[in-house]
Structure 1
Amino acid sequence: MKIKQFEDRYLSHYSYAILSECEKKIVLIDPSRNPEQYYEFAREEQAQITGVIETHSHADFVSSHLEIHQATGAQIYASKHMQPVFPFTPFDDGDIIEIGHIKLKSLNTPGHSNDSISIVLEHNGTDKAVFTGDTLFIGDIGRPDLRETQQNAAALREELAEKMYYSLRDKLMTLHEEVTVYPAHGAGTLCGKSLSSSKSSTIGNEKIGNWALQPMTPGQFISELTSNQPFIPAYFPFDVQTNIKGAPSFEESVSHVRISETQPDEITRETWIVDTRAEDTFKQGHLPHSVNIMEGEKFETWLGTIIRPDESFYLAAGSSDQLVRMIRRSASIGYESLIKGAFVINEADEQNPVLDLDHFKAHKDDYTIIDVRNRSEVEEKKLFENSISIPLPDLRNRINEIPTSKPIVIHCAGGYRSAAASSLIASETGSPAPVYDLGEAVKQFT
């Protein structure tokens, strides 16, 4: 038996291949959008992919389960509660997949979502591992509200939180303490709030160190789980629906994006340009109606937060190689379908003003200061007494709240979010007031 863990560090996502070495068969769990790494593993092991298990309908990335089924004939397994459109085999409490000496046993563990399952791996008659999806993380658990947009979302979150309480105690905590825990996400995901950077754990260690597995009443658990959760990006409900239907082929879909070495003539101010170049390059020259979402660790998250899934956009980069990378990264959340065109920027006339840092330090009251950090960051420490807090995820909906009678200075915690926010505000306000990005200089005030 062999367990291979794959990591998408940009989305803090873990997927898995379980290999029966005696039968040369592989079952995948929660594959990411590009299936090539799983095909490569199968070739290396001279094995056949015979199954794909989805632990739930994912909100934060697009899965390749349908493409793998179509390419290899592998059966897709998921809970009946997912109600998927694609062909699948229900995989719920009591259902078992057998490959060689391995048994994969389904546990219904609702809480993150109603269709969440965990998979216990039994080898030679002994439970060895559990793949917990977004139910049990290392040091934390999955949040219960990623797909709920209805008016009664708060009530639904509490209902799911109560289900999570019992899923953990009645299902996962009953496993042997030596069983290895393999989650679908690690530190950095928005699917929880305080995940460890460890990539695996054990049931015993989680009973000791995970807050959610400590003795408490259901009410205490629900209150803690539903409080102070991170924001929900705009693309999450879109990805849930994409995964329930099944996404098109990765390579085929990205190949449909039109790439140009020059700026397309048909660009209008009604369509956003997502400029992925470095902040200083963007400020020296960019196109109108551009938002600077730089190539970085969290590009996908901010792309899917700022650009809504019912919009289209142009993708711009500094080179052809960068353009290809960013198209493929956009596809990991299903956004390649929204790209009207992709092009390399050679010349652009729009420029951002440079902040006189000494003047700002001496005369902060002469500026409107916008803090685009998350609410929890502001509550922990406000950096400027007279700043206005508008978290970046809320910015497009609250742009009219920004006073334009004075020069505007934007800050976050390190410069990445403020680069996106300042470009967004400069494009949207239409005000003659200059918009400055404090950028990395914010560290001088922390």
Structure 2
Amino acid sequence: MLLHRLYDDDLAQASYLIGCPDVGVALVVDPHRDVQAYLDLARQHSLRITHVTETHLHADLLSGARELSARAHAELHLSAEGGPDWTPTYPHTPLHHGDTLHVGYVRVQALHTPGHTPEHLSFLITDRHGDTALLTGDFVFVGDVGRPDLLDEAAGGHDTRFTGARQLFGALRDHFLPLPPGTPIWPGHGAGSACGKALGTQPSSTVGAETQRAWWAPYVARNDEDGFTRTLLADQPDAPAYFARMKRDNRAGPPLTPSTPLPALPASAVLDGLLIDTRPRGAYHAGSLPNALHLPDGPHLETWAAWLIDPDADPRPLVLLARDAAHAHALRARLWRVGLDRVAGYVTDLHGLPTRPYPPLPPGALPHDAALLDVRTTAEHAAGHLPGALLRPAAHLTRDLQTLPRDTPVTVYCQSGARSAAAASLLRTRGFADVRELAGGYAAWTAAHP
């Protein structure tokens, strides 16, 4: 059995290729939307992708399962365990608890492990030599379990978190603990994901290691469902607003991505769209456009783009500021992963356009008449904030724009100045006339005010 993990550091998301080299076939679990990576990997190992599946309807990324199934001419198997509201509406073969897929000599058994979502499946993989692995998706992470409150936080649910917590407790007791302690587990996320609160940095673990070290294990061992539920639901991180859009679009079926090259556009096209300024922060501050969203090409591009671009509310085409065609293509593929498909083309510079500088304010020069906007997380704000600051986490900002004052200047800050530059640029693209940023963020302000 070949087990290969593909990891998106930005979204902290793992997908897996499970291959049977003896027969030359493979299964892919939880593919992201830039599916060429899986086709290339299969080709490198002389494998043909014959099956595609998912652990659940994702909230943090747009699924590539439909796309990969079409491109590879592979069978698509998806959970039928969550009821009609959690069943994809596009063609697929339904999977139920106990169903088995045979990928060459590799046996893949579906286990219904609800809680994070109602339809969630884990996959117990066994080859003909007896080697096993459990792909846990968002059921069990290294050191944590999947949060059950996302339906309430991001999808309009009402107190579904308590039902989800009880389901999760039962799945741990009935399907996880009975497995042999040495069974390797390979989860769907690592540290940095918003799908849990205490995810470890290691890519994998074992059933035995988790039952000995994870925070939840003592609660399940003593059958303390109430204590488990209280601890699980406490102090979960902010759920990004875009999660609701991902759930909706993943159920409906993501459209297939275009195969046409991304065109270079004339400078005038920039003024009619939403410019994605991917340069470093200093270059953006030195000169950009009011309709430019500052999303630097770095480790958070996908996450911040999903936070700050709402294609339902803002119909403008996206224009990428990129170094060249290859860079633009790579940027577009990253945006695909969070369902941002409306990319019209790219430009390589802003020469001849009416740019203006956006210098940040030094910590000692905060205007007294400005509204202070804290775009950090709820936990960061609770640990300390500027006096009188409004808390509007960047992950919720597109949803909360209508709550912000438009008749006064706004000064935006985060912890170090990176998120605030992106957030301030969003306000400018949405017509806020007087927006500044705090240079160095809260860290610089506290250093200047010991």
Q: Give TM class, smaller chain.
A: 0.7 to 0.9
Q: Read off the aligned partner of 2:126 and give its amino acid letter.
A: E
Matches for 1:59-70 after TM superposition, within 5 Å:
59-70=59-70
2:111 is aligned with 1:107: yes
Matching residue of 1:370: 373
Q: 1:301 Cα shift? A: 1.6
Give % identity. 27
Matching residue of 1:193: 197
Gaps of 5+ in 1: none
Matching residue of 2:233: 226
Matching residue of 1:30: 30
Q: Read off the aligned partner of 2:15 and give its amino acid letter.
A: S
Matching residue of 1:299: 301
CA–CA distance in structure 1, aligned partners of residues 138 and 25 of structure 2: 25
Q: 1:437 Cα shift? A: 3.4
Q: 1:169 Cα shift? A: 1.3
Mark the CA change 1:66 to 1:30 in structure 2 (over 3 Å): closer, same or farther.
same
Mark the CA change 1:147 to 1:335 in structure 2 (over 3 Å): closer, same or farther.
farther
2:325 is aligned with 1:332: no
Matching residue of 1:131: 135
2:278 is aligned with 1:276: yes
CA contact (8 A) 1:105 1:119 kept: yes
SS in 1 for 2:269: coil
CA–CA distance in structure 2, aligned partners of residues 390 and 67 of structure 1: 35
Matching residue of 2:58: 58
* Segment drifting more, 369-378 vs 103-112: 369-378
Mark the CA change 1:236 to 1:333 in structure 2 (over 3 Å): closer, same or farther.
same
Q: 1:441 Cα shift? A: 8.0
CA–CA distance in structure 1, aligned partners of residues 379 and 172 of structure 2: 27
Q: 1:257 Cα shift? A: 5.4
Deviations 1:150-178 (A, max 9, x none): 99623112211211111111111211110
Matching residue of 2:15: 15
Q: 1:109 Cα shift? A: 0.4
Matches for 1:247-326 after TM superposition, within 5 Å:
247-252=254-259, 255=260, 258-264=263-269, 267=272, 272-310=274-312, 311-313=314-316, 314-320=318-324, 321-326=326-331
CA contact (8 A) 1:64 1:246 kept: no
Mark the CA change 1:105 to 1:127 in structure 2 (over 3 Å): closer, same or farther.
farther
Mark the CA change 1:312 to 1:227 in structure 2 (over 3 Å): closer, same or farther.
farther
Deviations 1:237-278 (A, max 9, x none): 3322333343343352xx3755415231761xxx64332222
Mark the CA change 1:399 to 1:48 in structure 2 (over 3 Å): closer, same or farther.
same
Deviations 1:61-104 (A, max 9, x none): 22222222223322112211342233322222221122344211
CA–CA distance in structure 2, aligned partners of residues 212 and 76 of structure 1: 33
Matching residue of 2:249: 242
SS in 1 for 2:3: strand
Q: Read off the aligned partner of 2:439 and give its amino acid letter.
A: L
Aligned length: 435
CA–CA distance in structure 2, aligned partners of residues 220 and 154 of structure 1: 21
Q: Read off the aligned partner of 1:332 and give its amino acid letter.
A: R
Match 1:384 to one of 361, 383, 386: 386
* Segment drifting more, 134-143 vs 220-229: 220-229
Q: 1:358 Cα shift? A: 6.6
Q: Read off the aligned partner of 1:225 and give its amino acid letter.
A: L
TM-score of the superposed pair, with normalisation by structure 1: 0.88
2:356 is aligned with 1:351: yes
Q: 1:52 Cα shift? A: 1.1
Mark the CA change 1:232 to 1:272 in structure 2 (over 3 Å): closer, same or farther.
farther
CA contact (8 A) 1:318 1:346 kept: no
SS in 1 for 2:134: strand
Deviations 1:272-320 (A, max 9, x none): 4332222211122222233212222122122112221313342331423
SS in 1 for 2:159: helix
CA–CA distance in structure 2, aligned partners of residues 35 and 153 of structure 1: 32
SS in 1 for 2:17: strand
Gaps of 5+ in 2: none
CA–CA distance in structure 2, aligned partners of residues 418 and 80 of structure 1: 42
SS in 1 for 2:335: helix
SS in 2 for 1:395: helix
Mark the CA change 1:272 to 1:220 in structure 2 (over 3 Å): closer, same or farther.
farther
SS in 2 for 1:424: helix
Deviations 1:395-423 (A, max 9, x none): 34246544865x64322122221101222
CA–CA distance in structure 2, aligned partners of residues 214 and 364 of structure 1: 52
SS in 2 for 1:211: coil
Mark the CA change 1:92 to 1:127 in structure 2 (over 3 Å): closer, same or farther.
farther
Mark the CA change 1:278 to 1:96 in structure 2 (over 3 Å): closer, same or farther.
same
Mark the CA change 1:212 to 1:258 in structure 2 (over 3 Å): closer, same or farther.
farther
Q: Read off the aligned partner of 1:67 and give its amino acid letter.
A: E
SS in 2 for 1:85: coil
CA contact (8 A) 1:272 1:312 kept: no
Q: 1:349 Cα shift? A: 3.3
CA–CA distance in structure 1, aligned partners of residues 410 and 271 of structure 2: 31
* Segment drifting more, 155-164 vs 346-355: 346-355
Mark the CA change 1:281 to 1:24 in structure 2 (over 3 Å): closer, same or farther.
same
Mark the CA change 1:443 to 1:141 in structure 2 (over 3 Å): closer, same or farther.
farther
Q: Read off the aligned partner of 1:411 and give its amino acid letter.
A: Y
CA contact (8 A) 2:375 2:391 kept: yes
CA–CA distance in structure 2, aligned partners of residues 438 and 266 of structure 1: 28
Matching residue of 2:439: 438
Q: Read off the aligned partner of 1:328 and give its amino acid letter.
A: A
CA–CA distance in structure 2, aligned partners of residues 395 and 244 of structure 1: 24
CA–CA distance in structure 2, aligned partners of residues 150 and 368 of structure 1: 27
Q: Read off the aligned partner of 2:39 and give its amino acid letter.
A: Y
Mark the CA change 1:400 to 1:215 in structure 2 (over 3 Å): closer, same or farther.
closer
CA contact (8 A) 1:131 1:181 kept: yes
Match 1:393 to one of 386, 392, 395: 395
Matching residue of 2:98: 94
Q: 1:13 Cα shift? A: 1.1
Mark the CA change 1:346 to 1:272 in structure 2 (over 3 Å): closer, same or farther.
closer
